[in-house]
Chain A
Amino acid sequence: MQDTAPTAGGVSKQKARVSRLMVSPSVLLLLLWMVVPLSMTIYFSLIRYNLLYPGENEYVGLENFRFFVTDLGFMAGMTNTLLLVGSVLLITVVFGVLISLLINLAFWGQGIVRILLISPFFIMPTVNALVWKNLLLHPVSGVFAAIWQFFGAQPIDWFSEFPLFSIIMIVSWQWLPFAILLLMTALQSLDQEQQEAARLDGAGPWALFWHLTLPHLARPIAVVVMIETIFLLSLFAEIFTTTGGGPGYETTNLAYLIYSQALLQFDVGLASAGGLIAVILANIAAFFLVRVVGKSLTDKQ
């Protein structure tokens, strides 16, 4: 044993060195891939860089950051981002659980219903937004307006009266299927014998749901929350297509604010500063999410 150990160690050390050498090009490439854009963004955020004044790129320190956080749209952008992510998460998780429980029961036409429920997820966000904007919510020619008028009510002008709520509705419609998909598959692996045993012990449907189903769904729910948060923080297409961030700043989130500064006001410096602030915020969110999700994943072992 004693003379094999060092050789084995030596081999593995050598092996490790070789494998490190082999992966280093890709690691380097990945690093460049990440570092170059990041350092360019940092550089841009420290200079005065407006596309309309080429050549006037003097160093301005943290001026861009100061102007970004004092922008009228900044507080609105932060609140709207949180509201959007929070409410879409709440809606998709709650309704996702309820709907997946419902379609988990055997009924006639189950397959078709499941496909129909999942299909919104496969529609492109832009198309989704256009359909909602022009076919459903339009105050003059939309389906909702027709229904309202049928009952003699004044049609609602959704995008100017409830702009943020309309966006939440559109996005939830798109992401609910994702939650259903994950939760439905999780439900299928629910231990039937355990359920049976609990039922024999006299547990009602509410107790079954609370003590068996919900704990079983904790992990998929955590995954839904994490993945949706990642995508919803950078929500853009739906806002761009429907309201353009307005009216006022009602539907401007951070992603849209940065877009408008970079491409509507042509202020690359300011937008880069905004981008960095958004990266920091996303990292804070990710830090907590990973902890929470990681906890729920390990707790159940």
Chain B
Amino acid sequence: MAATKVTIGTVNNGDMIRMQGLSDAFEAEYPNIDLDWVVLEENVLRQRLTTDIATGGGQFDVMTIGMYEAPIWGEKGWLTVMDDLPEDYDKEDIFPSVLGGLSKNGKLYALPFYAESSMTYYRKDLFEKNGLTMPAQPTWEQMKSFAKTLHKPDEGQYGVCLRGKAGWGENMALITTIANAFGARWFDEEWKPEFTGPEWKDALTFYVDLLGNYGPPGASSNGFNENLALFNSGKCGLWVDATVAGAFVTDESQSKVADKVGFALAPSQKTDKGAGWLWSWALAIPVSSDAKEAAKTFITWATSKQYSALVAETTGIATTPPGTRASTYDNAEYLAAAPFAAKTLESMDRADPNDATLKPAPYVGVQFAAIPEFQAIATQVGKLFSGALAGSMSTEQALMGAQSITTREMTRARYYSK
């Protein structure tokens, strides 16, 4: 009998590349399933998956999607509902907030591969050398003064590395959490955007000033992977990004600063609401797939305890996919091997997609608004904000542009019908 081919579209983050590397173990266990990998950069992956699923292309059997897509696509009937999971899968073990983010109307549409919040990474050695102390949760203002002290471009050492690459899942994820901390929100209760308000102005001006003055050159083209490389090569004093990076910055085989990294909560400012995001990369099966059974076998394997054990065995327990299962954090061995684990768990506990802004907001999501229009809007807004960072336009112009783009898209989507 010919083997069933399962085509998996996934993002080029370290944990997924590891999953691809371990696929031999899966194929050994299930010889009649062949795995076919399509590994892409985040922005490109989104584009490929969205066009495929929206046109019913059926190119992929397994899609790597996140908390933004799962409920929206699920509600549209594009994804297979994840019920009848095997006995030993132990769904109860998965954090309810993660399952909640991947569900809509009580139906689960994707299984979480890993989940993350965001947190602050800093260089303990540099802090000591300069007589600085990192509080448990710094404010952005404090971050700026740290960055000022640590910024020594002549020595190839930059104060702070942050995302600057345009994209709703790149710079906008981080900027939205900064904005949340500054008391801003994407939409008011009438779905009107608020970019012309003082909160967004403060937040964006602060971000441009901080990263523009104390960041590495070319910051406007750095995303998660670029910043990870910079931090690992010892070029950044501070970095605020996904908690999942903890496993990479402390991994001696790829990080020059593995034993010098400290962890703190993502910075607050006016408020700590929505200061750290909540995200999960999850695996889902589109209804257009012609190998649903095999695909399900694969994704239950890849998100199981058994897979975690396999990772622990091959690349060390600290590289277990984080943030999804309570059992991971009950394991003393993991907590000992992963110095970032406690902060990851605390950050994830603090992030609440249903209450992420100082003023009440009509949308769900910390670093995004869970409406279909958001992707198009934030892609364009992200472009403007990266322009402001690069200095090709002023922050005022960027914010005015963001306001008009958002109003346009929401008008087109008929949000303000008379």
Q: Chain A: residues with CB nearer than 8 A to chain B?
A: 48, 51-54, 63, 67, 70, 72-73, 138-140, 155, 157, 159-161, 163, 243-250, 260, 263-267
Chain B residue at smallest Cβ distance from A266 = B50
Please name all residues of chain B whose beta carbon is closer than 8 Å to the beta carbon of A73 when the two chains form the complex. Answer: 380
CA distance A265 to B408 in the complex (A): 13
**What are 25 pairs between A and B in contact, CB < 8 Å?**
A51-B54, A52-B375, A54-B54, A54-B76, A73-B380, A140-B217, A160-B220, A161-B391, A243-B221, A246-B166, A246-B220, A246-B383, A247-B383, A247-B389, A248-B383, A248-B386, A248-B390, A248-B393, A248-B398, A249-B387, A260-B379, A263-B47, A264-B376, A265-B375, A266-B376
Q: Are A248 and B372 in contact (CB under 8 A)?
A: no
Q: B residues 205-226 with Cβ under 8 Å of A?
A: 216-221
Whether A72 and B401, one on each chain, are in contact in the complex, defined by CB atoms closer than 8 angstroms, is yes
**Chain B positions within 8 Å of A140 at CB level:** 216-218
Q: Are A160 and B408 in contact (CB under 8 A)?
A: no
Query: Closest chain B residue to A269 by CB distance?
Result: B412
Q: Which residues of A contact B218 (CB under 8 A)?
A: 138-140, 157, 159-160
Can you name the residue of chain A whose Cβ is closest to the Cβ of B54?
A51
Of the four ranges (under 10, 10 to 19, 20 to 34, 35 or more), the interface on chain B belongs to 35 or more
Contact of A160 among B51, B76, B221, B376 (CB under 8 A): B221
Chain A hits for B45, CB < 8 A: none
Question: In the bound complex, do residue B387 and residue A247 qualify as a contact, i.e. CB atoms below 8 Å apart?
Answer: yes
Please list the residues of chain B having a beta carbon within 8 angstroms of any beta carbon in chain A.
Answer: 43, 47, 50-51, 54-55, 76, 166, 216-221, 372-373, 375-376, 379-380, 383-384, 386-393, 398, 401, 404-405, 408, 412
B376's partner among A157, A161, A267 (CB-CB below 8 A) is A267
Nearest residue, chain A, Cβ from B165: A244
Question: In the assembled complex, which residues on chain B have CB atoms less than 8 Å from the CB atom of A51?
Answer: 50-51, 54-55
How far apart are the CA atoms of A139 and B408 in the complex, in Å? Answer: 36
In the complex, how many angstroms separate the beta carbon of B184 from the nearest chain A beta carbon? 21
Closest 10 CB pairs of A and B: A248-B387, A247-B390, A265-B376, A160-B390, A51-B54, A139-B217, A247-B387, A52-B372, A157-B217, A139-B218
With A138-B218, A160-B220 in contact, do A246 and B50 touch (Cβ < 8 Å)? Answer: no
Which residues of A have CB within 8 Å of B43? 264
Q: Are A248 and B392 in contact, CB atoms less than 8 angstroms apart? A: yes
| A68 CA to B389 CA, complexed, in Å | 26
Which residue from chain A places its CB closest to the CB of B386 in the assembled complex?
Answer: A247
Residues of B within 8 A of A245 (CB): 383
Cα A146 to Cα B375 with chains together (Å): 39
Asked if B221 and A266 sit within 8 Å, CB to CB, the answer is no
Highest count of chain B CB atoms <10 Å: which of A72, A73, A139, A246: A246
Interface centre among A51, A159, A160 (most CB of B within 10 A): A160
Q: Is the CB of A247 within 8 A of B376?
A: no
